[in-house]
Amino acid sequence: MAELSRFFGIVILMFVEINVKHHLPHFHVRFQEHQASFSISPVELLSGELPRKQRRLVEAWAEIHQEELELNWERAQKGQQPLPILPL
C-alpha cells in the first residue's frame, strides 16, 4: 500500500494490485482508529467511517486532487507506484 498524502493526522493510501479488478477507482483513509474508503469520481464514502471534520477535509482534498488521484489509480493498476500528492 502506497501513501499518497498526509495532513492533519489523516493518511491517504492506495493499494498497488496488478491484474486485480475493482468496481470503482478508490483510495483508503486512516485517521486514528478510523478507516474508510472513498471513490475517486465522484468523491463519495464507500465504506468505513471518519469523524465529520476529517471526512469533510478528505472530501475537499480529493476534489482538489481528483485528476492526480485518477492518474495514480491508473499507475497502481499497472503495478506502478502511485506518486505523492500535496497535502491540504
pLDDT value of position 20: 66
Residues of the chain with confidence (pLDDT) below 70: 18-22
Burial degree of 33 (CB within 10 A; 0-12, 13-18, 19+): exposed
pLDDT value of position 78: 87
pLDDT value of position 23: 72
Q: What is the DSSP letter of 24?
A: S
Q: Which of 22, 32, 29 is nearest to 4 (CA)?
A: 29
